Structure 1
Amino acid sequence: MKASQVIPILRIFDETKALEFYVDWLGFTVDWTHRFDDNAPLYMQVSNNGIVLHLSEHHGDCTPGGKVFIECEGVRELHQELNGKKYKYNRPGLEHEPWESISVTVVDPFMNRLVFNERLNTAKA
């Protein structure tokens, strides 16, 4: 088997809050949205620099409180950028991890966590 991409699905409850968090604060772009009808739950895809997430209001897709671990570069810059926006509901710290990494963890309005992790030691074992 060879996977081409892994896309986490995160549970959301409120489209406005999701857009405020993922688009306005984190800088994701809405790629597409889907509803079966005007009174149906929202399902959408957002992306940012190679990170793709599906956000779903459908109760059967997943549960709130998920965690996504994202290996990336530029965590210090992300930390400065996010805190510079002075988002009312989230002021993430810059964590120095025992596994020779730095990370920034953000928690969305639905208790899902995104951990942006950058390895400091790039030498491979």
Structure 2
Amino acid sequence: MDNTDSTVTIRPAIPVIRIFDLEKARQYYLDYLGFSVDWEHRQEEDTPIYMQISRSGCVLHLSEHHGDATPGSTCFVPINAAMAMHQELGERRYRNIKPALDAMPWGLQISVTDPFGNRLRFCEQRTGHV
């Protein structure tokens, strides 16, 4: 028995990533990974920031709010052209990071860790591994 409503559309989830230093987050996510800021929100000046960043079809939320997300989490991000992204990141040179391009059973993967211990796994998935 199918209990789903055909009018409901479920879109990709948007991971919330906990950050602790806005400047470090900007250097990492914008300058190094190539994301752009879509919007930023603060309740008042000098309060924690909540912001949306994106690159191509990937959307992430970054939050300084205590209780938003767990530091040290992992996000799996499907991509195409993993070799090109690996080259791009190598040319940008971010301090303390030199990501490898790993051949995994499910595809070519680049794993990077942000300054707050969160991991992003960019993966060009093999056919049959959706």
**Normalising by structure 1, what TM-score?**
0.92
How many pairs does the alignment contain?
122
Q: Deviations over 1:1-57 (max 9, x none)?
A: 531231000000000000000000000000000011112101000000110000000
1:108 deviation in Å? 0.4
Name the residue aligned to 1:58: 65
Q: Hey, what does 1:11 align to over in structure 2?
A: 18
Matches within 5 A, 1:1-125: 1-99=8-106, 101-120=107-126, 122=127
2:4 counterpart residue number:
none
Taking the aligned partners of 2:10 and 2:128, their CA distance within structure 1 comes to 25
1:89 is matched by which residue type in structure 2? N
Give structure 1 stretches of 5+ with no counterpart: none
CA distance in 1, matches of 2:25, 2:103: 28
Instruction: In structure 1, give the amino acid aligned to 2:15.
Output: P
SS of 2:123's partner is strand
Return the TM-score normalized by structure 2: 0.89
Provide Cα deviations, 1:57-79, integer angstroms capped at 9, x if missing partner: 00111110111001110111000
| Runs of 4+ off more than 4 Å | none
CA distance in 2, matches of 1:119, 1:4: 19
Identity %: 47
CA contact (8 A) 2:71 2:116 kept: yes
* Deviation of the 1:85 alpha carbon: 1.2
Secondary structure of 1:81's partner?
helix
SS of 2:52 mapped into structure 1: strand
When the two chains are superposed, the root-mean-square deviation of aligned CA atoms in Å is: 1.3
2:32·2:93 contact (CA, 8 Å) conserved in 1? no
User: Which runs of 5 or more residues in structure 2 are unaligned?
Assistant: 1-7
